[in-house]
């Protein structure tokens, strides 16, 4: 998510991979600051009171009530998308389904027009290609292209009375500490709700589908839970299953921090002030010290240690929203009238670092 270049510090980055180290750093923002970019990222790269102020604003857009109000809308979107998928012919759960759903859901939530979907999907492709390339100029160009899309939406929401009830318009008229938000702040907030998370959601869909279709018992259970009427117990079980799938193969791999003072790392090594630190959520989520065999599927035991959505003051505010999105998607795919299965032996293509999860998950409805 923090795609911008870090300030130059002269020291090599330190990667924290154990569960204990990652949790300790995430909960110690005074030492492990999030001010890792020279660009504005609201609230991601903020610290202290400034972070708390903007974070409260962000949280107010993702309350449990708002998320449950969106659920029927998103369920219809997921069901409609599943009905449009081919039967008897393979499709890719990441690109033909996950990405499409992510874009449609986001447009519906923010009040963005359906005509934008094609442009957002193209942007997602360029973003993935830029991240794979690791070329800073390419990443900067892709980030600028996204800002352009968001800016157009903010302008439209601020001037077109028809859009005055949309989430984008509501955000554009917010006050923070008695003043209006600057356009750059509005764009940044919306960018952090969308740019990184469109891809995260598509990746999570791929991971959940791959994990469930790889395990016969799990496949039967998820199909059963998806086909029957939703109740609180079944929903909770499904949510835990989904969280456990993405713990095992976490597509949201890292977050960045920078040290504000010298600190002693694991094994007694000295980490100087100003060192870039990588919190490796994916590695921590597979730490054998905490999870034993990291591939053992145990949703209930592992839930309290799961770091897919981070921890500490920057813990993902979109957790409820993503969990609901993944739940409606899982129900739509596994609860349809068709048998849902993987294709041949080559059905999975691993994503290339620095990205995680699967680039392609080839599946079939029969």
Q: How is residue 281 written in tokens?
A: 């959520």
Could you tell me which residues are beta bridge partners of residue 340?
365
Is the preceding omega at residue 323 within 30 degrees of 0, hence cis?
no
- Kindly list the residues in this chain that would bind ligand HEM in the complex (CB under 6 A): 26, 43-44, 55, 58, 192-193, 197, 200-201, 204, 252, 255, 281, 308-310, 314, 316-318, 321-322
* Distance of closest approach, residue 217 Cβ to ligand HEM, in angstroms: 25
Closest CA to 182 of 54, 48, 47, 2: 54
Q: Nearer to ligand HEM by C-beta: 53 or 220?
A: 53
Residues 6+ apart with CB under 8 A from 50: none
The number of CA neighbours under 13 Å toward the Cβ of 60 is 12
Q: Going by C-beta distance under 8 Å and a sequence separation of 6 or more, which residues neighbour residue 352?
A: 132, 359
Handedness of CA 332, 356, 57, 63 (dihedral sign): positive
Helix, strand, or coil (residue 294): coil
**Shortest Å, Cβ 109 to ligand HEM:** 8
Between 188 and 223, CB nearer to ligand HEM:
188
What count of Cα atoms within 13 Å lies in the side-chain half-sphere of residue 161? 0
Q: Which is nearer to ligand HEM, 291 or 365 (CB)?
A: 291
- Give least dist CB 199 to ligand HEM, A: 9
CB nearer to ligand HEM: give 74 or 340. 74
Tokens in use for 331?
A: 């129900």
Question: Considering beta carbons, is residue 46 or 85 the nearer one to ligand HEM?
Answer: 46
- In angstroms, what is the minimal distance from the CB of 22 to ligand HEM? 10
Which C-beta is closer to ligand HEM: that of 226 or that of 311? Answer: 311
Residue nearest ligand HEM, Cβ-based: 318
Residues in the chain: 366
């Amino acid at each position: 998510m923090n795609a911008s270049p870090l300030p130059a510090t002269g020291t090599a980055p330190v990667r924290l991979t154990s569960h204990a180290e990652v949790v300790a750093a995430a909960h110690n923002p005074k030492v492990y600051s999030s001010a890792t970019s020279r660009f504005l990222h609201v609230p991601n790269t903020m610290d202290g009171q400034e972070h708390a102020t903007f974070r409260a604003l962000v949280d107010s857009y993702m309350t449990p009530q708002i998320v449950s109000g969106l659920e029927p809308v998103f369920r219809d979107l997921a069901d409609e998308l599943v009905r449009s998928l081919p039967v008897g012919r393979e499709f890719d759960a990441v690109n033909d389904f996950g990405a499409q759903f992510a874009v449609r859901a986001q447009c519906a939530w923010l009040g963005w027009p359906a005509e934008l979907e094609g442009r957002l999907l193209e942007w997602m492709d360029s973003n993935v290609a830029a991240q794979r390339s690791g070329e800073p100029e390419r990443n900067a160009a892709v980030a600028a292209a996204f800002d352009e899309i968001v800016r157009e939406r903010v302008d439209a929401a601020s001037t077109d009375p028809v859009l005055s009830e949309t989430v984008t318009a509501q955000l554009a008229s917010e006050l923070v500490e008695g003043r209006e938000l600057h356009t750059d702040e509005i764009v940044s907030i919306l960018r952090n709700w969308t740019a990184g998370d469109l891809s995260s959601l598509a990746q999570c869909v791929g991971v959940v589908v791959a994990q469930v279709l790889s395990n016969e018992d799990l496949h039967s259970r998820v199909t059963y839970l998806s086909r029957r009427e939703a109740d609180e117990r079944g929903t909770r079980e499904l949510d835990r299953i989904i969280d456990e799938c993405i713990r095992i193969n976490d597509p949201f791999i890292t977050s960045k921090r920078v040290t504000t003072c010298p600190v002693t790392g694991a094994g007694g090594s000295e980490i100087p002030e100003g060192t870039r630190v990588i919190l490796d959520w994916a590695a921590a989520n597979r730490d054998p010290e905490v999870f034993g065999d990291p591939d053992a599927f145990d949703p209930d035991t592992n839930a309290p240690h799961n770091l897919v959505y981070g921890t500490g003051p920057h813990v993902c505010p979109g957790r409820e929203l993503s969990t609901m999105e993944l739940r409606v998607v899982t129900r739509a795919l596994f609860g349809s009238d068709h048998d849902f299965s993987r294709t041949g032996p080559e059905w999975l293509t691993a994503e290339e670092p620095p990205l995680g999860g699967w680039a392609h998950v080839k599946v079939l409805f029969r």
